[in-house]
A and B are shown apart, each in its own frame.
Chain A
């Protein structure tokens, strides 16, 4: 746990430094989107690493958060904060409806159910034109307003998003190291054994699923106000897959690994633009190669490599 606190303090320090000294709005905007992805990935990492469940529909929860916030503020004049809370309600409700039946069952039913759910939600975003603005998107979302303060600059959003992410990581770390978290970890190893210890495993899994959906919904609400425009193309099945990929590439077993994966997959396309049209090919190759050669993810894989190198030197 001590190591985790150290890492978290380091992260917070780095973020604070960037926030204070960076003057380039472009970097802020890139980082803002990365921070929101980090938020989604923290939840997904809890779900995958601890509850052993995969969600292929997290882009839908992200989108539900974004669209609920967007619609309520742009079309019905709600304040951003109350819309954000309503968005949390909508996201949680959707997660409950999918999660309760799917998590009663053993196996990867949640993955399949969320896949279907994700596509359905995407089609709804596209087709309920009067409400969502349809395929061409929802315009007129106001900037975020909290406690009488209106967020107008990228730097302000950066501080807010960084704070929320740090808090989310703190929460996730505590959760993971609480009795609840240990029960979850046991669940990941052996569901039967955990049940024998008197835990209701279905409920454990459901709670983690709800937390991860809520975090994705929160990221969505924040994104809607930050970008002031949303459209269905940001919430497709491929985005869900990308979130899962971030977690797996970093390493399913670790929160930090997942964050590393998010950073890598967000930064990689920016770097790969030097390959111009070839960037998709390079991206696909890197993804496949990492999974073949470091099946436990970058975080652990690189750690092992480092360890071995050190041993060789000695």
Chain B
């Protein structure tokens, strides 16, 4: 009993991280139809900024806020400097741009911070808590709580605010949104800022557990992408649930099957999903079978 609880808790922690990254993918995809392969780099930037500010002795809440804000700024810069000038190009061109960006950002990070992992202090102590037969570090609970709050805040933003509604309209039908007088460009910019901030949040809260390394983003990005596809790529609720499902399945696979194939688990789920239920768990059913 303690064992399965342990796996679930571990899965929820990774799942929360995947969920935040997946949400980032969805937001940008909805605004631009671009799969942003630099998404993982935003996670890394968040963690790196956090490590730097903590090393300079900034209090954790301040370091936290600065790290997320700076990464959001990086998201804005990325959109203005690369996506905006190429906005009329085909989606595949834009995707290649994001791949180039990911190489570029990773290279820059390697320069600024070096190649070694950087430690980040734990936010609220390291004394493990016992829940049932399982143990968990306080940081894991913090990760869960913060992810839930962030997702909930996003949901309110999309459902209640005018800007959020405009973004949803834009995602549903860009041309119609334009006809209604919604200006799409500022929304694209906003989507990059939001998406970068969410990913940075993921990076910041996980950094005390995993440390910050310049190349930590790629695998996290791919897993987040799998989670987003699992949830249907266009649905924000779907991608969040997709993230948690992926995290838990991965942890169960490592615990009960074989840790060797743990990394494959996420992608086996992704492929099976695409082959069996291509619209995702919660995606819109607009794909026509030809």
Contacts and interface: CB of A to CB of B under 8 A. Distances in A.
A127 B92 contact: no
Contacts of A249: 96
Contacts of A106: 287-288, 290
B290 A280 contact: no
A116 B96 contact: no
Interface residues of B, number: 44
Contacts, number: 121
B214 to A, nearest CB: 10
A112 B101 contact: no
A104 interface: yes
B274 interface: yes
A303 interface: no
Contact of B268 (A48, A104, A115, A120): A120
A10 interface: no
B108 interface: yes
Interface string B265-287: 00110110011001000000001
A119 interface: yes
B84 to A, nearest CB: 10
Interface string A73-117: 000000000000000000000000010011011110100110111
Residue from A244, A249, A277, A288 with most neighbouring chain B CB atoms (10 Å): A288
Interface residues of A, number: 44
Contacts of A133: none
A273 to B, nearest CB: 14
B82 A288 contact: yes
Contacts of B99: 241, 245, 287
A313 B193 CA distance: 45
A104 B290 contact: yes
A117 B90 contact: no
Interface stretch (B129-137, B139-147, B256-264): B256-264
A292 B222 CA distance: 24
B176 interface: no
A236 to B, nearest CB: 10
List the 5 shortest-distance A-B pairs measured between CB atoms, nearest first.
A284-B104, A287-B100, A280-B107, A295-B89, A284-B103
Given A119-B222, A291-B89, A295-B89, 19 more contacts: A105-B289, A112-B274, A115-B270, A116-B267, A116-B270, A119-B263, A123-B263, A241-B37, A245-B100, A280-B104, A283-B103, A287-B96, A287-B97, A287-B100, A288-B97, A291-B100, A292-B97, A295-B86, A295-B88
25 contacts: A104-B289, A105-B287, A105-B289, A115-B270, A116-B226, A117-B271, A119-B222, A119-B267, A244-B96, A248-B93, A249-B96, A277-B110, A280-B106, A280-B107, A281-B107, A284-B102, A285-B100, A285-B104, A287-B96, A287-B100, A291-B96, A292-B85, A292-B86, A295-B89, A295-B90
